[in-house]
Structure 1
């Protein structure tokens, strides 16, 4: 299969790319699309044959459920139920954070195929704020299953070129709308009995959600109930360790090491390659750079990537979640 990459910069390019994407989606094919978080691999969520192509292209295990993207709250209610007991809180959160990087795990309606939900009684639902994805969803007029557009377990793509690196020859179309803005996957929550449980950390932080009610974080996952919960995920091919500070790390003899530094003040002597998440220690900037710089270091033929821990506040908690999962030994820190 030949994979086409089409730009969506100018108005004319965007119109053409959207039309081609919708045509392919209606034909049961896959399309890589930009979202505000990372690039997603979209398919008609109600077409089992199309959804199975996602699992095949990504080498994704069937027990890992998919996020379903819709165009509105009204469309969300066609595929999922908003429980009455939590309706007021859920709708308040949707009103504040949709469109945007917040995904809700809700009881699914029968229209959602088992393969989308991995056999669970729930479905993960969100509305993307990206203008290209939103336009495709609106023109398509239905629900789109869209996990990240990369091989399963690998670093999520924040550029069209990343998608090509992962899935060239496996999907027909990539729509290139340049870099994503957040650089991290959406926050996933479950709302029950007036409480908000974070199932996956992301751009919408616990601090943001605390304005609406009691917030807890699911730290010990016994069974996958939402996408992105596996202990080893978002991983480069190169071995990665997380350290508190590069100053405290002794580079092993005859080891070609790369450094993913938190800020510019970090020690870099002896490292073959260095990428700095944010020179000024800005967590939003660090999040936007995380997967891009991890991918660049992974391409550099290193023996080891050393990643410095960032502040565990706000979106820093999501960055640390991704780094710990990306470590060769889950949770590894030196």
Structure 2
């Protein structure tokens, strides 16, 4: 059975020989897992349909779930997408960084990469190794998170190997990622910016830049679902450990009876001593960074249920809420993506 070759690489000064090995793999149509500032991505040549299909096969990912295409500069984005003045303004302000723009695709992008859509999701990662790999490869790199589809996203190379070690050719390892949740995805093909997936860039930053952010549901029921399809991570159960996830908000009744097989994670302390398997974070930033790692840790500890603190609806809290909501079996009578205006 094939096993991935893992290369430890300096985040700030990537070794040229290692980047060359990974880039040659991309050019040959192989799969390379690499770090970004958000999570680890499973990369292939975005313009090679056969290579892209390899991503879907390795992850067990539905073929109608579009991929994000990673580029090293704005010029590369303009080669694969019809960029508008609004899109260019946002790129200039927030790239490189955890912001993905959904734009009208050019024909050069295979439909497999786009999930069969007429749009393409594009971003420029803020990570020296990712940028070096894209530049050396000479092609845009399609890359969803480097994990089995539906599982918590990987924030370190060990998780990538555990999930996909037999399917990937090369894994580049720079240690844990900085942000911990995927990029924010916005649709810039509408008159106003539409939030498709909250993520590593707070919505407030986009609004402070002067762009009003809408939710898909504000477009009307007839258009909302079509717009949501343009983003990965919005139509299927995602980010879920093998154990059940239950959401809890401070002030609510505790959702479970006392059970030694319960784990807890969040910022707020649980209202009762449920077990020793409690993971506390001291900020939203740390909660986001450790979210997926905490899920996998508690899963390995054998808990049957994870009770997760459902955080405030601001900053990175919106992205955390989204990931928890999609991973959970509980539902609240509210939209987890509601943006505080």
Same fold flag (TM > 0.5):
yes
Q: 2:36, 2:140 → 1: CA distance?
A: 15
2:15 corresponds to: 14
Deviations 1:145-168 (A, max 9, x none): 000000011100000011011111
Would the aligned equivalents of 1:257 and 1:272 in 2 still touch at CA under 8 Å? no
Q: 2:13, 2:195 → 1: CA distance?
A: 40
1:244 corresponds to: 249
1:70 corresponds to: 71
Answer yes or no: is 1:225 the counterpart of 2:230. yes
CA apart distance, 1:310 = 1.0
2:289 corresponds to: 288
2:118 corresponds to: 121
2:162 corresponds to: 165
Alignment of 1:50-129 (within 5 A): 50-82=51-83, 87-129=84-126
Answer yes or no: is 1:141 the counterpart of 2:145. no
Q: 1:75, 1:110 → 2: CA distance?
A: 14
CA apart distance, 1:141 = 1.2
Q: 1:235, 1:80 → 2: CA distance?
A: 32
1:26 corresponds to: 27
Aligned-residue Cα RMSD (Å) equals 2.0
Q: 2:185, 2:196 → 1: CA distance?
A: 5
1:274 corresponds to: 278
Would the aligned equivalents of 1:246 and 1:268 in 2 still touch at CA under 8 Å? no
Would the aligned equivalents of 1:255 and 1:303 in 2 still touch at CA under 8 Å? no
Long gaps (5+) in structure 2: 335-341
For 1:216, which of 214, 217, 234 is the aligned residue? 214
Q: TM-score, normalised by structure 1?
A: 0.92
Long gaps (5+) in structure 1: none
Deviations 1:115-147 (A, max 9, x none): 111111000001111000000001111111000
Would the aligned equivalents of 2:194 and 2:215 in 1 still touch at CA under 8 Å? yes
Answer yes or no: is 1:176 the counterpart of 2:181. no
Would the aligned equivalents of 2:246 and 2:255 in 1 still touch at CA under 8 Å? no
Mark the CA change 1:10 to 1:256 in structure 2 (over 3 Å): closer, same or farther: closer
Q: 2:258, 2:233 → 1: CA distance?
A: 35
Q: 1:306, 1:120 → 2: CA distance?
A: 37
Mark the CA change 1:12 to 1:216 in structure 2 (over 3 Å): closer, same or farther: closer
Q: Secondary structure at the match of 1:142?
A: coil
Mark the CA change 1:172 to 1:13 in structure 2 (over 3 Å): closer, same or farther: same
Q: Secondary structure at the match of 1:248?
A: coil
Answer yes or no: is 1:261 the counterpart of 2:247. no
Q: 1:81, 1:229 → 2: CA distance?
A: 23
For 1:190, which of 178, 187, 201 is the aligned residue? 187
